Chains A and B, each alone.
Chain A
Amino acid sequence: MAKIRVYSTKMCPYCRMAKEYLEEKGVEFEEIDVSIDREAAQEMIKKSGQMGVPQIEINKRIIVGFDKEEIEKELKAMKKG
């Protein structure tokens, strides 16, 4: 199964909503707290060119913000592929 990563910060509500949504969908994901892991933060910013959280990496595509529809689309594509 392809890897899903969630870049998040501790108190960010949309990060929590995104994680809960993925849990609901029953998909496995790796959580990266960019408020602690500065290297990961730099990596995230470099990859997406965006400084906001959450960022959800599915199939090497990065979705910025908690965008349910986009996440669902990528999850579907992932299952097919």
Chain B
Amino acid sequence: MYDVVIIGAGIAGQTAAIYAARKRMDYLLLTKELGGQFLESGEILNYPGIVRTTGAEFSAVMREQLEFTNVKVWEGEVIKGIKKIKAGFKVVSDKGSYETQTVIIATGARPRRLSIPGEEEFRNKGVTYCSICDGPLFSGLDIAVVGGGNSALEAVDFTHKIAKKIYLINMGKKFSAHEYLIERIESYENVEVITEAETKEILGDEFVTGLVYKKKRRKYRVDVQGVIVEIGRTANVDFVKGFIELDDNGHIAVDCQMNTSVPGVFAAGDCAAGREYQYVISAGQGCMALLKAARYLANRRP
């Protein structure tokens, strides 16, 4: 019986594990792969104590820190569900099951899909969800970036020197991104901003050749060879549906101490409710969840 099983090894899960290791708790860090969304981050300029870094550099430092703290990571575990048992919980993965007194869910989120014709068909044939991976392949091409949040604007920022022309297609009237990013994007001459536009279809033959959007009841077409989709995130919570309460947005409902609807189960990071998705918040929540789990254990012991 473990003290705590931490599910997911993005920044929230890794932070929880560092604290668990230093508190000498009997813990497990289960994950499909070590990393999390910051792997796919380009520049990171807003993490306190670090002036400027990239997703790749940051993950290398995190890994070094895990090694320094002797955190063991159980990789390749796909979690199927959590069950309540008398002494606590049973976490079931594709490889086995683990009994524990408390659980921290830190499974993060994945890119949301547009769910429109052509999207699946042309995935990896011009449609991508990872601009820093596949963006360089759009060298000299015209592309569209769909979205209006930080991730979409970061994708434009990353690719504006690579692509020839970028259409930034935003559903809303305004961007919901950090002001410094909006200022940057507006200064780029090869970026055309299209607002209040709903992306309807991705066109192509062998590869992407265009995108159709609708604006004020009229349909328009732009000729592009690449489409970067950055329209927000879907929380990775399918395995706890029915076990735990979710909010209207499909994230795990939590209070300010990272308690979920099930006592002894905590959630942290982008899988948890809060509507703000930042590395520093995830790290803080991972820490809070672990400390609250430890407190829960202390109160439980006779």
Contacts and interface: CB of A to CB of B under 8 A. Distances in A.
Interface bracket on B: 20 to 34
A12 interface: yes
Interface in A1-34: 9-17, 34
Contacts, number: 62
A5 to B, nearest CB: 16
Given A34-B136, A34-B137, A53-B134, A11 B125 contact: no
Contact of B54 (A11, A14, A49): A11
Interface in B124-146: 124-126, 128, 130, 132-137, 139-140
B148 to A, nearest CB: 23
Interface stretch (B20-28, B35-43, B64-72): B35-43
A50 B133 contact: no
Contacts of A34: 136-137
A76 interface: no
Q: Is the interface of A mostly helix, strand, loop or mixed?
A: loop
A51 B136 contact: no
Given A11-B132, A13-B56, A52-B128, 17 more contacts: A9-B133, A9-B134, A10-B136, A13-B40, A16-B56, A17-B33, A35-B136, A35-B139, A35-B162, A41-B139, A45-B207, A49-B125, A50-B125, A51-B125, A51-B128, A51-B137, A53-B137
Q: Which 6 A-B residue pairs are closest in the complex by CB-CB distance?
A: A35-B136, A13-B39, A12-B133, A52-B124, A9-B136, A11-B132
Interface of A: 9-17, 34-35, 38, 41, 45, 49-53, 64
